Amino acid sequence: QQPVQSPQAVILREGEDAVINCSSSKALYSVHWYRQKHGEAPVFLMILLKGGEQKGHDKISASFNEKKQQSSLYLTASQLSYSGTYFCGTENTDKLIFGTGTRLQVFP
Amino acid sequence: DGGITQSPKYLFRKEGQNVTLSCEQNLNHDAMYWYRQDPGQGLRLIYYSQIVNDFQKGDIAEGYSVSREKKESFPLTVTSAQKNPTAFYLCASRGSRGINQPQHFGDGTRLSIL
């Protein structure tokens, strides 16, 4: 029941956009997004609580479609600092189940 | 500053030895979690605790043990029964029994076998 993320990896040039998807086989009531830089701990980006909700964090935003049981993370005008692995997380009785991860690399 | 402190940062284990990883938080969070991360892989839940003196097994609890005697502390013991302990271990916490709360992580402990 681990959420599946796509794509598995993305390579970008600075300034390009990317979309990361997170799909669940179970009903979703909220979705978390985290970013983990190489060798570091994951850092919280945002939570989406309602169906259809969109939130933003700098030039990173996300949408949540509870009917489709999926969420998408949008990275606009990517910066070098966006490089890392992105994980979505879904709630499952008091604990988070993290997705399979998407590795994002941004080059100058 | 509030946060989660994991120690040590690096740990080496000999064959047949138990080792304990420390996790302390001063965020006044009720829920605490332990994850294991293998190179290039995702986060797998080992154990979690929603309240003092209570904890539940996660997906990969075999070979590990925990205790939650204080709200601030959630140590993880990697026992000799865990035959492949080499990994990056992350402790996390979140408040109000956790539901729909952001999860905060410590800086992690890297465990290797000698």
B104 touches chain A (CB under 8 A): yes
Summarised one tens digit per residue, pLDDT across range A2-29 is 999 999 999 999 999 999 999 999 888 8
Summarised one tens digit per residue, pLDDT across range A66-102 is 888 899 999 999 999 999 999 999 988 788 999 999 9
CB B81 within 8 A of CB B95: no
Instruction: Tell me which DSSP letter residue A81 carries.
Output: G
Contact A95 B45 (CB under 8 A): yes
Name the minimum distance, in Å, from the CA of A33 to any CA of chain B: 9
**Separation of alpha carbons A82 and B73, rounded Å:** 32
Name the minimum distance, in Å, from the CA of A76 to any CA of chain B: 23
